[in-house]
Amino acid sequence: MTAQGESCPNSVSKSRFPVALRWRKLLAATAAVIALPGLAAPAMAVPGHGIAHRATPEGGFEELMVPSSMGPIKVQVQWAAHGGDAALYLLDGLRAREDFNAWTFETNALQMFAQDNVTLVMPVGGQSSFYSDWRSPSSTNGQKFTYRWETFLTEELPAFLEGYGVSRTNNAVAGLSMGGSAALALAAYHRDQFQHASSFSGYLNISAPGMREAIRIAMLDAGRFNVDSMAWPWSPAWLRMDPFVFAPQLRGLPMYVSSSWGVLGVHDQVDSAVNVFNTVNAVALEALSMVNTISFMARLNSLDIGAHYNLQTKGTHSWGYWQDQLENARPDILAALGVQ
């Protein structure tokens, strides 16, 4: 779903059973490890045996080009501050860009984790993908390849990062909006890889009445992607993506789930006609996320599955609030990864 926040809090419930942005091609590289530091143009890097060369030191920022079945994918990383092997994957929203992962410039996530012994892994691209494996290329925008984002994030990318000393098993995943439901799906189906999952303003009941058509409209708006190319209506592939449906597979997984009712808060600006338009969209999208989240919470409660919920009144579908929620989730994430 798209909003003002996707590129362009007040009380916290922390019990097990609480009562209550905007939504990558050349062949696989076979050369030696090359990567430029900072925000310079990324270089293809293929780790060999042992630890591959890092262009920046511990705690440094680097861009890698990672081979995949979709072609090379840019991945932005901030290496663990003290050489640790844990990693946090940060997923973008529906309007994911082709140049940067929005967590790197819409939030202070890099600074937030700068002193922590955890590598931030921020894949670039995947607009409207839901980070899933599609059945075919999108038929409405001339896409030349089929999205295989789940395969990339759970097979190709972990294998690549292992060459840099990043664990394939001690990872967490967090995302906003489209990336929120995707974070839960990746963790649910790859429990050996992810030890914690966070969803910020996610759509967690996508098979509810009207949700598929809402997603259809949002995906057409964000790159003219066709939801039917992702998965047929209510097919096994579609239901596999729905957190409400796969909820039983989340048992025992530490989770942080947040959403708001869309009431204007500290990060909202309505000082221009454009901001008013964007804010109205952000209000509606966040309220829809909250309805989805409450339904998902009830589903987990019925299954006796706990999570850390942070359900707010104030807050819209925008990056300021997602930055706040990442900061709130940070202690849980570090604890699940065993990072001191």
Extents of the domains making up the chain: 43-337
Catalytic residue among 128, 308, 317, 318: 317
Percentages of the chain per state (helix, strand, coil), in multiples of 5 = 30, 15, 50
Section 170-189 average pLDDT? 98
pLDDT of residue 272: 86
Nearest Cα neighbor of 322 from 164, 200, 187 is 200
pLDDT-derived band at 23, boundaries 50, 70, 90: very low
Section 45-63 average pLDDT? 76
pLDDT of residue 22: 36
272 carries an active-site annotation:
no
Catalytic residue among 7, 68, 128, 177: 177
β-strand 171-176 against 119-123: which pairing, if any?
A: unpaired
pLDDT-derived band at 6, boundaries 50, 70, 90: low
6 carries an active-site annotation:
no
* φ, ψ at 261 (rounded to 5°): -85, -5
Catalytic residue among 6, 106, 286, 308: 286
Specify the pTM: 0.86
* φ, ψ at 256 (rounded to 5°): -125, 120
Q: Which of the two residues, 22 and 58, has the higher pLDDT score?
A: 58
| CATH of span 43-337 | 3.40.50.1820
Indicate the helix (H) or strand (E) that contains 87: strand 87-91
pLDDT-derived band at 127, boundaries 50, 70, 90: very high
Residue 312: CB partners within 8 Å, gap ≥ 6? Answer: 9, 10, 11, 258, 259, 260, 261, 265, 321
267 carries an active-site annotation:
no
pLDDT of residue 40: 35
Highest mean pLDDT among 1-15, 195-209, 256-270: 195-209
Compute the distance between CA of residue 311 and CA of residue 298 in angstroms, rounded to an integer: 13
